[in-house]
């Protein structure tokens, strides 16, 4: 997302921008849901991607208990979209000739006057005035320029998936499907919301329900979870098709004793649930001579705010604004660093506070206070993934 945003905004200020993507085939999002914020909608409009058929608008949030009773609700209109839809909108802003699949960043040589020379693992070379590293939380660009900056495991992970609307029971469709729904057992969090179906199908009956279940696991437990079906140890996470079936079976069995019927129904209808360990970090610098980091490569917050794509759009927009406002590229990049690095750091700090609900590693009085506050489901509905974080920080 950040690479596509960057290319779109740079093109608007007269630059020629090429996007190099490691994947040899068009990317697909496995049905991941994305909550939206005004900042994201603004970035989509301004980048030229637009917001047409962006997603599903829910009007309220509810919290249910184990018996499925609604114990709290809040009116809160919010558009829920999907990774696939955003990718498709942004992808359409780039001419095919400037989008290159199967290019894996290997290294960059740079000097201020001559710009950058990038080598790709497949043997290609590209030259330009500026390299924008939008290659995600495990950025290879950042690994070369700031190898000491490493994502930090939060002490918890999520099980995820998105069952098809048509497979869900009538009770599930009535009780939770139309809403942004919370279920909050001790030191866990289950969240669900409707998203579009296959190929951005927004028609009733064809949609999906985004399911997320936060669970605590110490680093040793996570390490064991990261041994795949073939016995291979992965360092950070396991590609979904390789997640061990015994782990999935154990998770399903535990859910039977924890979840209300509607969320159980969702889980039973997820054909291949997968887990994602939660990491975060913020790089102290996001500019290295003629290389600028954007999106998750620059900083990545825990997903409780649902703000990552909004931040990616904001980074890209700020980068283009800085370049448009200064004739000297190096001065512009210094400006970009000064404007966006502190914002990334603030977002990461806020994500950590929201994660205190899970009771892991509570270091400060503020952590303790926030953890206590978020035990109340009403506070949870008021704080998690709410719009206007940057505009109306409490
Ligand atoms: C569980 C979860 C839920 C989330 N929910 C939300 C939400 O509700 N709302 C929201 O806004 N955000 C959410 N996010 C965050 C959001 O997904 C990220 O912030 C966003 O995807 C960051 O975009 P990016 O382009 O910077 O990085 P990525 O999406 O990681 O993209 C990086 C790209 O770089 C490519 N790449 C990597 N290495 C190389 C290389 N060496 N050479 C070439 N290409 C390479 C990758 O293939 C990929 O296409 C969530 C994240 C998680 C984990």
Reported as a single tens digit per residue, the pLDDT across 253-278 is 999 999 999 999 999 999 999 999 99
CA 315 to centroid of ligand 1, rounded, Å: 14
- Protein residue closest via CA to atom 23 of ligand 1: 1
Handedness of CA 135, 191, 358, 235 (dihedral sign): negative
Residue 390 has pLDDT above 70, yes or no: no
pLDDT of 113 reads 74
At a CB cut-off of 8 Å and minimum separation 6, what does 105 contact? 20, 22, 118, 120, 121, 133, 135, 140, 141
HSE-up (13 A, CA, CB side) for residue 182: 26
What digits encode the pLDDT tens for the residues 309-351?
999 999 999 999 999 999 999 999 999 999 999 999 999 999 9
The residue to mutate among 29, 51, 136, having the most atoms of ligand 1 within 8 angstroms of its beta carbon, is 136
CA 102 to centroid of ligand 1, rounded, Å: 17
pLDDT of 182 reads 98
- Which atom of ligand 1 approaches the CA of 141 most closely? 41
User: Across the chain, what does the average pLDDT equal?
Assistant: 95
Nearest partner of 68 among 182, 180, 150, 169, judged by Cα: 182
- Mean pLDDT over 83-111 rounds to 95
- Protein residue closest via CA to atom 51 of ligand 1: 303
- Which atom of ligand 1 approaches the CA of 278 most closely? 53
Q: Among 24-28, 191-195, 380-384, whose mean pLDDT is lowest?
A: 24-28
Distance CA 199, CA 203 (A): 11
Encode 207-232: b = buried (16+ Cβ within 10 Å), e = exposed.
bbbbbbbbbebeeeebeebbebeeee
pLDDT of 394 reads 35
Ligand 1: residues with CB < 6 A are 1-3, 20-23, 27, 34-35, 103-105, 134-136, 140, 158, 276, 295-297, 303, 306-310, 312
**Please, which pLDDT band fits residue 112 given cuts at 50, 70 and 90?**
low
**Please, which pLDDT band fits residue 392 given cuts at 50, 70 and 90?**
very low
- Mean pLDDT over 164-190 rounds to 97
pLDDT of 111 reads 79
Residue 198 has pLDDT above 90, yes or no: no
Strand partners, 127: 117
Residue 50 φ/ψ region, left for φ over 0, alpha for ψ in the -120 to 50 degree band, beta for the rest:
left
- Mean pLDDT over 167-184 rounds to 98
- Which atom of ligand 1 approaches the CA of 309 most closely? 11
* Triad 337, 338, 340: Cα angle to 5°: 65
- Mean pLDDT over 244-260 rounds to 97
- Mean pLDDT over 24-28 rounds to 84
User: Percent of the chain, pLDDT > 70?
Assistant: 97
CA 14 to centroid of ligand 1, rounded, Å: 26
**Please, which pLDDT band fits residue 27 given cuts at 50, 70 and 90?**
confident
Residue 391 has pLDDT above 60, yes or no: no
**Please, which pLDDT band fits residue 140 given cuts at 50, 70 and 90?**
very high
- Protein residue closest via CA to atom 28 of ligand 1: 136
The residue to mutate among 105, 107, 308, 354, having the most atoms of ligand 1 within 8 angstroms of its beta carbon, is 308
Q: Among 76-90, 151-165, 249-263, 278-292, whose mean pLDDT is lowest?
A: 76-90
Distance CA 54, CA 82 (A): 8
At a CB cut-off of 8 Å and minimum separation 6, what does 151 contact? 137, 138, 236, 279, 280, 281, 300
- Mean pLDDT over 65-69 rounds to 98
What digits encode the pLDDT tens for the residues 38-62?
999 999 999 999 999 999 999 999 9
Residue 388 has pLDDT above 70, yes or no: no
- Mean pLDDT over 117-126 rounds to 97
């Amino acid at each position: 997302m950040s690479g596509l945003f960057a290319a779109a905004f740079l093109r608007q200020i007269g630059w020629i921008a090429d996007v190099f993507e490691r994947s040899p085939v068009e990317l697909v999002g496995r049905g991941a849901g994305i909550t939206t914020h005004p900042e994201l909608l603004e970035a989509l409009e301004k980048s030229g991607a637009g917001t047409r058929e962006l997603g599903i608008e829910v009007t309220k949030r509810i919290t249910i208990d184990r018996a499925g009773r609604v114990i709290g609700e809040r009116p809160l209109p919010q558009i829920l979209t999907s990774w696939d839809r955003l990718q498709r909108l942004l992808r359409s802003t780039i001419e095919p000739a400037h989008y290159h699949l199967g290019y894996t960043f290997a290294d960059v040589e740079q000097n201020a006057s001559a710009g950058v020379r990038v080598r790709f693992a497949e043997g290609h070379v590209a030259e330009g005035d500026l390299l924008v590293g939008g290659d995600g939380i495990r950025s290879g660009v950042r690994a070369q320029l700031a190898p000491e900056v490493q994502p930090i495991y939060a002490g918890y992970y999520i099980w995820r998936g998105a069952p098809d609307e048509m497979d869900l029971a009538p009770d599930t469709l009535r009780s939770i499907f139309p809403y942004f729904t919370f279920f909050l057992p001790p030191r866990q969090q289950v969240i669900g919301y409707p998203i579009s179906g296959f190929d951005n199908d927004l028609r009733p009956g064809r949609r999906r329900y985004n399911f997320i279940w936060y669970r605590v696991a110490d680093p040793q437990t996570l390490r064991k979870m990261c041994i795949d079906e073939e016995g291979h140890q992965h360092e950070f996470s396991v590609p979904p098709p390789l997640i061990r079936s015994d782990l999935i079976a154990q998770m399903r069995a535990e859910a039977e004793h924890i979840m209300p019927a509607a969320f159980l129904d969702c889980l039973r209808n997820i054909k291949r649930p997968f887990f994602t360990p939660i990491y975060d970090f913020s790089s102290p610098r996001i500019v290295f001579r003629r290389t600028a980091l954007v999106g998750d490569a620059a900083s990545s917050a825990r997903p409780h705010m649902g703000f990552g794509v909004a931040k990616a759009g904001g980074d890209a927009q700020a980068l283009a604004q800085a370049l448009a406002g200064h004739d000297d590229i190096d001065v512009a990049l210094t400006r970009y660093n000064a404007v966006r690095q502190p914002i990334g750091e603030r977002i990461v700090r806020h994500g950590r506070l929201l994660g205190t609900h899970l009771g892991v590693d509570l270091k400060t009085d503020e952590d303790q206070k926030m953890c206590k506050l978020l035990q109340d489901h009403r506070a949870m509905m008021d704080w998690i993934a709410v719009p206007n974080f940057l505009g109306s920080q409490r």
